[in-house]
Amino acid sequence: MSMMNLTEARLPFYQALRQAALAQQEALRSDDLETFQALMDEREELLASIERLGPFDPFDPSADAEASGRRQAASLLADIIKTDRELQRLLASRIEKVRADLARLRIGKQTARAYWPRTGTESLFIDVEG
């Protein structure tokens, strides 16, 4: 397969990767973790498809490919990288929120234990007739 064909063969995969990354961003913003994971799986499949096409560097100016196709591939990859960086930021923010929630829960449990300590003994009920 010539470099031109490699560029052309990759472009639809790069476009699909970009769309999946943007959809992941939206899923994460709306707390739809199932969709986020499904899109992660989709992206892994797309990357595997690209790898099966063989090695290619769209940023290499010496690549024997049409300049516009190379520029389009490089632009798509740059968009994917930018979107992935934003995804990384969103995930880090979400992780920090979960950590804060866990800390609040831990404090709440400690407070509850302070008011209702476990004595380790069973309760007895005495029924007195009278």
CATH of the domain at 41: 1.20.58
pLDDT tens digits, residue range 77-109?
A: 999 999 999 999 999 998 998 898 888 888 877
Position 118 in a domain? no
Q: What is the pLDDT of residues 11-56, one digit of tens each?
A: 999 999 999 999 999 999 998 999 999 999 999 999 999 999 887 7
Q: 76 falls in which pLDDT band (50, 70, 90)?
A: very high
Q: Which domain holds residue 31?
A: 3-90
Three-class HEC string of the chain = CCHHHHHHHHHHHHHHHHHHHHHHHHHHHCCCHHHHHHHHHHHHHHHHHHHHCCCCCCCCCCCCCCHHHHHHHHHHHHHHHHHHHHHHHHHHHHHHHHHHHHHHHHHHHHHHHHHCCCCCCCCCCCCCCC
pLDDT of residue 62: 58
Domain count, the chain: 1
